[in-house]
Chain A
Amino acid sequence: MEDGTTYEGMGFGFPKIVGGEVVFNTGMVGYSETLTDPSYKGQILCMTYPLIGNYGVPSWDDLDEFGLPRYFESERIQVNGLIVNELSTVASHWDCERTLDQWLYDEKISGISGIDTRDLTKRLRVDGVMRGALCVSPDEINNNELARAMSETKYDGFNFMPEVSVSEIKEYGSHSLPPVVLIDTGVKYSIIRNIIRIGFRVICVPWDTPTIDILSYSPVGVVISNGPGDPKMCKSTIKTANDLIDLSVPTLGICLGNQIIALAGGGNTQKLKFGHRGQNKACTEVGTNRTFITSQNHGYGIEPESLRGTEFDIWYFNTDDRTIEGVTHRSKPILAVQFHPEASPGPYDCMFVFEKFKEMILNDNIGYQRQKPENMTTSSRTGTKEKKTGGRKGVSEK
């Protein structure tokens, strides 16, 4: 690690050397969802729960009603490496297809077990997240190679968008449904799932799609997704967000999307010391004091002072450290949350954010009135049978 610490353990998964920003997550379940979350791009993930791999890895063929894999959040493992205290070499679950070890091997990702993950976590908590490198090898490990891998690692100031965003437009959900454009800055499948669930068709576009192209779909709303890295790297997305605010297009930002909207609205973002990654984070709603348990995964956040003088109000704040967890525009239909209302992994308590988004669309009498279909008042659930583009298949086609 950057501070010179080394940890020795037992390697698993795929043997190679890899660098990344070392972060920790305190969730006790949900490694298949976590590892495939594109927000972890460029990071080596340490799980604080000591036993990982207990229920194995489910099948990619197990699809939900929208044709998306049920237990995964993107088409591949996104972390650069995995650090655990103890890897369960045996997996037990009715839906298990292979072990975690096997999965990592198959996807050429390295892991290490037998680590004092609590000690590592405390180090990151005290000194902040830092770069590190992981080497899994059957041979003697060369410390110089490790050091080189670490120093070559780029995280801060690196634009991950080309790696995580779709390269071409994809559609999910029935054609009969009104369209929502999803700007893919590293989206999780569950965000797509939830947009369809509330009754929309999803048009998933690359992160740098110009506003004019987005508007060409006549979207009733736009979602800016989660994703990895520094939001300031997503310059063209910020520009688009700015346009969407100007045009009063109903927009929902999630995680990175939240930060992008804040930047577009004149606010600023900052890197947090060690981020928020877990499933137990309390967020309080300004005004009502209702507190919700949320799932989170972010290393950057909105600088609270920077919202002064902008058109944005704080919607949610983190009950523990008072960081901003959500914003709303004072006059326009713009909502954003720093946490993950789509859960997966984590608690489903904040699903209502999607309903709020839907409500915003239904109340929008500019863009939406134009093409409001008859069936919009009832949330219809339509699968993606006509066009099944999500899921594992996407990988092999690439």
Chain B
Amino acid sequence: MLPVTRSYVEKIIEQERPDSIMLSFGGQTALNCGVTLNDEGVLNKYGIKVLGTPITGIKITEDRQEFKNAMIASRVPVLDSAPAHNMEEAIEIANNIGYPVIIRVAYTLGGKGGGVAHNEYELQEIVQRGLPQSIVHQVLVERYVGSWKQIEYEMMRDSTGNAITVCNMENVLAMRVHTGDNIVVAPSQTLNNEEYHKLRSAAIRAVQHCNILGECNVQFGLDPASEDYCAIEINARLSRSSALASKATGYPLAYMAAKICLGYSLTELVNSITKTTTACFEPSLDYVVLKMPRWDFRKFELVSRKLGTSMKSVGEVMAIGRSFEEAVQKAIRMTDTGKHGLVCNDDSELEENLEIVEEGLLHPDDEVLQTVVKAIKLGISINTIYRLSAIDPWFLTRIKNVIELEKKLRDSDLSENLLKDAKRYGFSDHQIGKCVGLNEMSVRKLRQKLGIIPVVKQVDTLAAEWPAKTNYLYLTYGGEKNDIVYDKNNRGVIVLGAGPYRIGSSVEFDWSTVNMVWSLKENGIESVSVINCNPETVSTDYDISDRLYFEELTLERVLDIFEKEQSSGIVTCVGGQVANNLVPKLGKLGIPIIGTASTNIDMAEDREKFGKLLDSLNIRQPPWKKFTNMAEAIAFCHKTGYPILVRPSYVLSGAAMRVVWGEEQLERFLNEAIHLSPEYPIVITKFLQEASEVEVDAVSNGEEVIIGSLIEHIDNAGIHSGDAMMCIPPWRLTRKTMNTIVEYTKMIALSLKVKGPLNIQYLVKDDQVYVIEANIRASRSMPFVSKIVGINIIALAAKAVLGKPLPKEAGNLWMRVPGFGIKVPQFSFMQLEGADVVLGVEMQSTGEVACFGESFYDALSKAYEAAGYSLPLSGSALITIGGQRYKEKLLPLISLVNSMGFKILATEHTAEFIKNNTKANVQEVYKISEPSRKPNIADLLYNRQIDFIINIPSTSTIEKYVGMLYDEYQIRRKAVEMGIPVLTTVEAATSFVESLRWRTTFKPTINSLSGYVEF
């Protein structure tokens, strides 16, 4: 577990002496790293062969000009464009091409740094930001064709020259929106034979020319009003789109690409689904696939929600249906954003202003489909909507079909045929119920009485032409017969997955799901099915489980599958909060839960019940209370004192959670928060400042408790646990505190009769241990703990849910970790235009890295690098600190920075304070909002004259909302855009500087991680 950077990879090469390397499987990071290794002679020096697309081919696809030349040579049209290496060049090119133009940054991922400029002012903004993002300091200025169709082909090519297209995909929001943020359908819906095959042939010519080996993605623009088309780009690697294409077709692209890299030809490989036919074919789909992104904009107050050329979504879902309407409504539910489909949502009846709707069509945001629905309901013609939104009328008409059916449901009696039609159009029982005035379960009973139940169909790559040997399944109302026959004597277990990646639930839960499936099989469960809908995951590989249902994780669908399977029970503990939230509903219906009983999960989730339990165990919690009215809440806060933490019950990763520093702020916030979730009351907790936070991951079978590890946060409490840097084993806790925490964990687990994994979060302040919350399910940190400690927690959890004994020895391993494991969050602030980097109780990170080291700073410094921080050993540090208290607290650190030889830059008050209190040399610099005063921070940032920034707002939360420190926000924002590290808490700044200091004397260790200890 080491950073994927040139220097680490080189060191590993030096140690391991491999004879070859694969570059196309680790995304843009791996590809860039490989190119650097090649260019700097490392590959040559160690005689390493690149398996897959050769470096020359990669470079053609990465360098804009070479790409253009290659396309022209392959008789594939391209858009007018030219590369620019500086602002003057960019302006001149744009003037020649004519606005609007799109600016693309060479060698970046996710459209990072690019944008559309309609005028010179916007051009300057984007180019200034883009140039430094490119490792070759180059941007491409290109004609902008936002209203063209955006069509993608996933290609496979082998060394004998066989080339096939595995899947083509059409982006519903046209060229306007980055494909990662687009709603994508497969196969294309609005292309005729000639267009489909013309682009396909162009893609083949292009990959032949670039000598692609393995897999790649070719993106085209297609004029919706003529025969014009153009190639936009080629990604010479497995990408997000390839993952989607694999799931959409059942063709395992990465697997086949790996074989091709090893020298197999496509003809030698076998279709993994039929096991008898060749892999050298093009899948034929007999269903529609729709990918819908999930955005988490509500976590970022200042972020622009507009979609464009830079990707902002954090996850995605894929829905399979036999009609577009069915697929799109399923997909909306799958995103788990509280929507029930295109229509019948709680907020959809709001009056809408025509102008706002038109603006929303012209400049789409994450609510674009809702905007289309509103536009149609307002009576705007399909043609006008098309003109504004560039969404093909075919898609718009399909959306209109759903709206018309909703109207029918509302206006007429619910006949059998109408009910059937509604189900074919993807209406959920809840949606239907809402139209006809019944509850969800009544609709379910009614349609079951009428025999209206979904059928199970297989994804088989060949449209039923050959029998499929795998069970990759979906449910649909667009058919009459099930594809598979269930064995009533072999009742299996269903494992619920975690749905789309989102802030707070990412690949960690998928790791848990997959390990749960494997471990259940190892423990004698013959048939294990998985329900999940995330195309980016391993749990949705059809060869992980016995039956994969690529389906919604809604109560309705889970029940449908449960009934079809006549399953013996459902495992809900590895699917994160999505699966957990289904537990009470499933419990109420008497569905067997394999794991902790739903009443016991409820006892942990319900604060009142949990509080009583803790009281009975004599375990402390920070003072808290539940409120339904504001006066009582204010009185409580007055008594306990501010700051306090406010949140609704049943939270998902800190959504709507907030620290409140005073009464006025509380009143304002309570109004907003109560609006958010009227079903559940508000909980107010005393917010303990300067407390440390500790988590425990554990497993219990109801009788024994195995501690996975104690994990200590490096940041103080107040930073969401998903955003905090964490350390295994704890490095500052006393033995007594650790013992207390272990003891509490065991008491709580046994009292709740936990059968499976659990995670408890603690606060430690003045040697006193408080419980924050207990999650009776797999946690985000379990894969981290498992890898560092060397026990597979989920494998133990599988034994636990089945009531099997647990190996006692496993619980002590965490204390014997020979070094430190440190997890550092990864943020996507760069892509989220406007996002502030100051952390709080709301989780904002979109990923994480972890490194193992022999010492604390060995591990930490590597983890920083893995997360993309550069670790400067000399240069300049900008320091701006709010408030006297923090200034004093940081004095020793500032002296340290100075003594390490860094030049210290500081803003007015901080500079004065440093001058008065230390011997450090300080240069005073001026705020971005005073551009005429030099030296100005903005100039220094642009010219890369600042190497890192310590910026600590006085109370990191209050003033953010009061909006007083806009200037500091600007510094942080610009720094993020320039890729300069910004440290915003005392602990973060200290750890960072100490890591730098460690690096001046020591070299990071290069060791491989050992496997899990077997029990």
Contacts and interface: CB of A to CB of B under 8 A. Distances in A.
Q: Do these two chains interact?
A: yes
Interface of A: 24, 26-30, 32-33, 48-51, 54-55, 58, 70-71, 85-86, 88, 90-95, 116-119, 121-122, 125, 274, 278-282, 284, 289-291, 293, 319-320, 343-349
A285 to B, nearest CB: 10
Given A92-B392, A118-B479, A291-B267, A281 B281 contact: yes
Given A118-B483, A320-B276, A85 B478 contact: yes
A94 B225 CA distance: 5
Contact of A278 (B194, B266, B465, B483): B465
Contacts of A280: 281-284, 462
Nearest to A90: B397
B393 to A, nearest CB: 4
Main SS class of interface, A: loop
A298 B323 CA distance: 29
Nearest to B192: A55
Given A291-B266, A347-B201, A26 B465 contact: yes
Q: Which 9 A-B pairs have the closest CB atoms?
A: A30-B193, A92-B394, A48-B463, A280-B282, A26-B284, A116-B479, A345-B193, A320-B277, A119-B481
B193 A29 contact: yes
B549 interface: no
B324 interface: yes
B998 to A, nearest CB: 56
Interface string B279-316: 01111111110000000000000000000000000000
B466 interface: yes
Contacts of B193: 29-30, 32-33, 71, 344-346
Contact of A55 (B190, B197, B324, B397): B190
Contacts of A319: 267, 277-278, 280-281
Given A50-B322, A94-B226, A121 B194 contact: no
B463 A26 contact: yes
Contact of A30 (B192, B276, B467): B192
A85 B321 CA distance: 12
B384 to A, nearest CB: 15
Interface in B440-469: 455, 457, 462-467
A167 to B, nearest CB: 29
A126 to B, nearest CB: 9
Interface stretch (B159-167, B341-349, B559-567, B900-908): B159-167
Contacts of B464: 48, 118, 121-122, 125
B506 to A, nearest CB: 33
B789 interface: no
A28 B187 contact: yes
23 contacts: A26-B462, A26-B463, A27-B284, A28-B196, A29-B197, A49-B284, A50-B287, A51-B323, A51-B324, A55-B192, A91-B394, A118-B479, A118-B481, A121-B286, A122-B483, A278-B284, A279-B284, A280-B282, A281-B281, A293-B164, A293-B281, A344-B193, A347-B201
B323 A290 contact: no
B160 A279 contact: no
Interface string B175-188: 00000000000011
Given A94-B224, A94-B225, A320-B276, A51 B288 contact: yes
A32 B464 CA distance: 23
Contacts of B479: 85, 116, 118-119
A92 B276 CA distance: 39
Contacts of A343: 197
A367 to B, nearest CB: 33
Contacts of A71: 192-194
Contacts of B196: 28-30
Main SS class of interface, B: loop
A371 B324 CA distance: 58
B341 to A, nearest CB: 18
B397 A92 contact: yes
A88 B466 contact: no
A348 B457 CA distance: 32
A118 B286 contact: yes
A54 B392 CA distance: 11
Interface residues of B, number: 55
Nearest to B201: A348
**Residue of A27, A51, A85 with most chain B CB atoms under a 10 A cut-off:** A51
B283 A291 contact: no
B192 A348 contact: no
A27 B282 CA distance: 10
B189 interface: yes
B356 interface: no
B162 A290 contact: yes
B547 interface: no
Given A24-B465, A280-B462, 13 more contacts: A26-B462, A49-B187, A50-B478, A70-B194, A71-B193, A85-B479, A86-B478, A92-B394, A118-B481, A121-B463, A121-B465, A320-B278, A348-B201
B608 interface: no
A278 B282 CA distance: 10
B526 interface: no
Nearest to B266: A291
A290 B285 CA distance: 25
Contacts of A26: 284, 286, 462-463, 465
Nearest to B198: A348
Contact of A58 (B192, B265, B280): B192
Contact of A28 (B225, B285, B465): B285
Given A116-B480, A348-B197, A92 B278 contact: no
A257 to B, nearest CB: 22
Contacts of A85: 286, 322-323, 478-479
Contacts of A122: 464, 483
B225 A48 contact: no
Contacts of B322: 50, 85-86
A51 B191 CA distance: 12
A118 B483 CA distance: 9
Contacts of B457: 118
Contact of B323 (A29, A86, A345, A347): A86
Given A85-B478, A117-B286, A121-B463, A32 B192 contact: yes
Contacts of B392: 92
A51 B226 contact: no
Contacts of B455: 116
B280 A291 contact: yes
Contacts of A293: 164, 280-282
Interface in B83-132: none
Contacts of B282: 279-280, 293, 347
A347 B284 contact: no
Contacts of B257: none
B200 interface: yes
Interface string B187-227: 11111111011001100100000000000000000001110
A295 to B, nearest CB: 9
A27 B191 CA distance: 13
Contacts of B284: 26-28, 48-49, 278-280
A358 to B, nearest CB: 20
A72 to B, nearest CB: 11
Given A48-B464, A125-B464, A346-B197, A90 B190 contact: no
Given A116-B481, A284-B267, A346-B197, A320 B189 contact: no
Contact of A282 (B281, B287, B393): B281
A295 B276 CA distance: 20
B166 to A, nearest CB: 10
A48 B162 CA distance: 26
Nearest to A346: B197
Contacts of A93: 190, 192
A146 B162 CA distance: 47
Contacts of A70: 194
Given A28-B284, A33-B193, A289 B465 contact: no
A332 B497 CA distance: 63
A26 B460 CA distance: 12
